Structure 1
Amino acid sequence: MYEFTRNEIRDLLIAFAVLSISFAICNVGTDPFGIASILPIVMIGVGAGFLLHEIGHKFVSMKYGYWAELQLQGQ
């Protein structure tokens, strides 16, 4: 019933990675060891917030009979 395209999964993973790294840099600066130490914690937060939010958009729109697909801009 709820299907994800290959491009959508790729775009979700790219957005997830970029947001996770960005939030890690915002928290500890550009120290590579600091980024590596906080990144798993940030990924849990981003996963809970961003991914559930975007997947929620998809499920609700499909429930009402619409097609929804996350796409990165500039493609």
Structure 2
Amino acid sequence: MATMTKRTTIYFDPKLHKVLKAKSVESEKSISELVDLALRHELLEDLEDIKAYEERKDGDFISYKDMLEKFNNG
């Protein structure tokens, strides 16, 4: 079964585009594949951050003032 894809236009800084084209040639992957992989990586990193927040959100809270005092007193 073929993978469904969507088409869009993205505008890159010229220097970034040049580097992206070079990576595309070096890696034998299309620019679309490289952008897709980079976005997936970025979004999965966000998911990890959200999960970490959820695990700690009910934990002990230390105010900024208390944290500074703790830092100052070693």
TM-score normalised to structure 2 length:
0.36
TM-score normalised to structure 1 length:
0.36
Q: Which has the larger radius of gyration?
A: 2
